[in-house]
Structure 1
Amino acid sequence: MTLAFDGDRLLAAVDVARTALVDDGQQPGAHLESTLEGDWAVAHYFEADLAGYRGWQWCVVLAGSPGTDDITVSEMVLLPGEGSLLAPNWVPWNERVAAGDLTPGDVLAADPDDRRLVPNQIDTGDEFRFDSEEVDPDEIGQIAGELGLGRRRLLSPEGRDDAAQRWYDGDFGPHTDMAAAAAFSCATCGFYIPLAGALRPAFGVCANEYAADGHVVAADYGCGAHSDVAAPAGNGSPAYDAYDDGALEIVSVAAGAGGDATP
């Protein structure tokens, strides 16, 4: 025997749903709608007049059961409605951090599986003692540190490529207005210090205090402070002759009516 679902009775039980909210200490507004929620369940929606929850709705789920007229309050929940004010989706902190966010005193640790880093070949765990004038040959960690090989992790090819792309597309790359207006590239400049390793052909550091001093620049970047730029010829303004202020004659002007003499 199959018992028919008495949906009309649950759909009409608006007062039961409202009473459940009131008994819970809430003050529901107007009834908005009722919807079927599967077998033997109906959801009633009411306006929610709560500070900070504009557009939200109270939802009360009522349930019935075969062979009885009892109505059970299954659930009460506050839900966002159309156009309601919602908090932004949560984003992990390591995805929110952006370049320039680091300030003095902040600690920003790289993830253990950071794709920009790879384990180094030498990782003995020995303590480096750079203040010692004599190095014990048996202290492999000390020797590795002196050679720069004792770092626990090194830049991975992916990390290197990411950095190269940022620098190439950044303020000191070849596609900037400064580079387009330059007559010479950084690769031919005396102030250009090439990087070491795989990035050497494409990047260096500018050592000109009047240009991109201390910044990584692309080899085909350029500016007007190149070491081979010639100084303009001639004296004074290149567009006009220098003005001879020695031709001025200083005279005294007689005082007018009610005035003093002006030199």
Structure 2
Amino acid sequence: MTKPDPKRFLDLARAAAVENATEKSVSSFVELIDEGDGAFSFVFESKLEGYQGWLWSVTLYDSGDEAPTISEVVLLPGENALLAPAWVPWSERLADWKALQVELEAQAALDAAEAAEGAEDDDDADEIEDVEVDDEDDDAEADELSESESSESEDSTGVELASTDFEPGEDTEDDSEDTAGKPPLFSRWGRRRNKNKKR
């Protein structure tokens, strides 16, 4: 069996592709593939909207004794075709979803624990600051109290010194001694008067 002449079957293959699609969706001829046993595939570039990179494939059979017949017309993805994602069974998708939920819950629990830890650290820091402030206040109060006590002590010491400068016992004794040694003035004057009378 001889290989079909592309010039002889090309128009037949294109007509079959256009019949299944539209004239605008079937573009230039790409290649001829010998499938064996008298089957040949004619490949055309597809311009069908939404199928960028896809190809029209028209397979015909030529027995050599009779006119060739069209076996199938299909749209096949090319090397750069935009394909839909692979189909995944529902059981696998459900298992993936459950695993994702477990992971999200674990992450949420970890975030909550870290947030609680941070809050405790902040509380501890606030308590330490409060204690330091209280200690400073206590020190200030202690300093003020110490200054007040020292001031009162100085005042009381001054009063004691002032009181010890005057001792009534000693002064009184000295005065009494002086007055005892000297006669009263009026008696001296009286004596002088008596002397004058005698003269």
Which is greater in Rg?
A: 2
Of structures 1 and 2, the one scoring higher in RCO (CA 8 A, sep 6+) is: 2
Query: TM-score when scaled to structure 1?
Result: 0.39
Between Structure 1 and Structure 2, the one with more helix by share is: 2
